[in-house]
Amino acid sequence: MRSLALFALLASSEGYEFKASPNGCTVSSVKCYVDDANRILNEQRTTGPLSQEYCAQFCSNSGYSLAGVENGNECYCGNKLRSDAKAATDSDCSVACSGQGFDGEKCGGYWRIGVFDVQCSGPPVPQPSAPKMLNNPCLNASSPFAKQPWCDATLLVDERVKDMVSRMTLDEKIANLDTGAPAIASLGLNAYNWWSEATHGISHVRNDAVTPYESNFAFPITTGMAFNRSLWKATGNQIGREARAFMNAGNAYSTYWAPVINLAREPRWGRNIETPGEDPTLTGEYAAYFVHGFQDSEDDPTHLQASACCKHYVANSMDHSKVAGEEHDRTDFDATITQQDLVDSYLAPFQACVEKGKVSSLMCSYNAVNGVPSCANDWLLQTVARDAWGFDGYITSDCDADSNVFDPHHYTKTKEEAVAAVLHAGTDVDCGGFVGGNAQSALDQKLISEADMDARLHKLFRVRMRLSHFDPLNPLDEIPPSAVCTAEAKRLAREEWRAA
């Protein structure tokens, strides 16, 4: 049995400050179960910095008798497990709790939930503080990881990435094909989330006393009307610099899914304000200059300041429509486009983003193009983007777009076939959990191989290498929180409105 008082005592020596009674919350007899999207314990939940004791307190506050911890930072509550809950091995629930000061405590695993009785009395247990989002084990000379080839910054990037992937277990590889990638024990890495946003300023970041706010710029539909490449680049640069400042403070990741470069040609589309406009040339130029500003920094021309992503690839400008009594939305829409219109209009902005902007990520869209879902379309992802344009980066699905390949597109007969289709086409990371949830079954059926997963992981970690996540400290790592929302940033935001 572990008591909060013991952890408070241990943590206090490392600067983690709170006082609690031994009668706060205690946890014993943690049992590991297999979880799924419907949740075996599903009355209430919270996420964030976590310990078993805090999860117990959260559930106690809501009057529940059972608590469950999952994936390091998820807490679930209820009074009984779902009737079909299946037990898992204790080793499956081995992900470290995300709360600072609780070293050695485990909070479930990937689709594995550690369930225990709620036993609380006395003073309430506070939520733990959050550790830095990113860590670099290569900086610790006494760490065993620092002596491994992937930490050797003198080696070629591809050599280092190959060494990284070779050290991962199969379970780690499968889990890291999803956007919310859990910690990788074999590499000493914290969890990583590939999804952040930056259309007109960074979001999906953590605000606290160190980074309480970020700059907010005009929507791209406004900035695009300025017809000013220098302004577009300066805007991208300030947003990218703030992204790096947040990362350095431990309050952000480094991969941002912006800009949106679909064409604003359908007035009913609700996301027109996120785009620079309706013209392919204008949109392509905006993409190239925004991305250059966002990713490049004079402080360190050899690394990415932050990673940009041009989306949604491609012909994605419809949310919902009803034609002849039949309803369609973006998840099942098939864009039927002539080759000339596809090349001259819809592909052109993405070509500029890749060839001129050197973007490090693309997002494949929900829709199909001429019968093939974008995320399973090897012609779009491999033949066009990587082979013809020379794209060097990772490809993410839009959220649940990989799942949509199976349903509602019905492009494959089974979920496992859909996993094989997206991996073989060149989609590197899945936003939504579909690939991670079905990859083992696809592997068992020999529809994919471990080498297929390695190829996708190579693309992902190659971008993280270019972001200097595993390198010695460099000038980009010195960008401080004071670089956020500066007088120059405010002047730039006002200039956008005036120029438009």
Q: Say what the pLDDT of residue 24 is.
A: 87
> Model confidence over 56-78: pLDDT tens digits?
999 999 999 999 999 888 999 99
User: Within 13 Å, how many C-alpha atoms sit on residue 396's CB side?
Assistant: 30
Count each helix (H run) and each strand (E run) in the chain, helices first.
Answer: 15, 19
Q: Say what the pLDDT of residue 11 is.
A: 34
Nearest C-alpha neighbor of 223 from the set 244, 239, 207, 243: 239
Q: What gap in Å lies between CA 358 and CA 300, rounded to an integer?
A: 16
List C-alpha distances in Å: 155 to 44, 148, 149, 162, 465. Answer: 48, 11, 8, 11, 11
**Residue range 122-139: mean pLDDT, rounded:** 91
Query: 178 near 430, Cβ under 8 Å?
Result: yes
Q: What gap in Å lies between CA 112 and CA 191, rounded to an integer?
A: 16
Please report which confidence band the pLDDT of residue 184 belongs to, taking 50, 70 and 90 as the band edges. very high
Nearest C-alpha neighbor of 420 from the set 447, 454, 460: 447
Q: What gap in Å lies between CA 481 and CA 251, rounded to an integer?
A: 10
pLDDT at 268 over 90: no
In sequence order, what are the residues at sequence separation of 6 or more whose Cβ sits closer than 8 angstroms to the Cβ of residue 446?
none
List C-alpha distances in Å: 445 to 34, 63, 378, 416. Answer: 21, 44, 22, 8
Query: 362 near 399, Cβ under 8 Å?
Result: no
> Model confidence over 388-443: pLDDT tens digits?
999 999 999 999 999 999 999 999 999 999 999 999 999 999 998 899 999 999 99
Residue bearing tokens 């939930």:
113
30-44, 82-96, 259-273, 338-352: which has the highest mean pLDDT? 338-352
pLDDT at 325 over 90: no
3-state SS assignment for residue 70: strand
Query: 310 near 363, Cβ under 8 Å?
Result: yes
Residue bearing tokens 């000493």:
188
**Phi, psi (5° rounding) for residue 192?**
-140, 135
Residue bearing tokens 């060494």:
163
Give the relative orientation of helices 229-248 and 487-499 as an angle to the nearest 10 degrees.
150
Q: Say what the pLDDT of residue 13 is.
A: 31
Token pair, residue 8, equals 């408070």
Task: Round the average pLDDT of the chain to a whole number and report it.
Answer: 92
**Residue range 200-226: mean pLDDT, rounded:** 95
Residue bearing tokens 């310990």:
51
Whether 208 is a known active-site residue: answer no
Q: Which residue has the higher pLDDT, 415 or 500?
A: 415
Q: Say what the pLDDT of residue 104 is.
A: 80
Q: Say what the pLDDT of residue 101 is.
A: 83
Question: Which H/E stretch holds residue 59?
Answer: helix 52-61
Please report which confidence band the pLDDT of residue 109 belongs to, taking 50, 70 and 90 as the band edges. confident
Calculated CA dihedral for residues 405, 448, 196, 101, nearest 10 degrees: 130
**Residue range 251-275: mean pLDDT, rounded:** 94
Q: Say what the pLDDT of residue 23 is.
A: 54
**Residue range 271-297: mean pLDDT, rounded:** 97
Query: 128 near 50, Cβ under 8 Å?
Result: yes
For the chain, the first-to-last Cα distance in angstroms comes to 64
pLDDT at 356 over 80: yes
Helix-strand-coil percent breakdown of the chain, rounded to 5?
40, 15, 45
* Maximum alpha-carbon separation in the chain: 72
Residue 499 identity: A
In sequence order, what are the residues at sequence separation of 6 or more whose Cβ sits closer than 8 angstroms to the Cβ of residue 414?
406
Token pair, residue 485, equals 């929302």
Question: Which listed residue (398, 428, 430, 452) is catalytic?
Answer: 398
> Model confidence over 1-41: pLDDT tens digits?
343 333 333 333 333 233 333 458 999 899 999 999 899 99
Q: Which residue has the higher pLDDT, 267 or 243?
A: 243
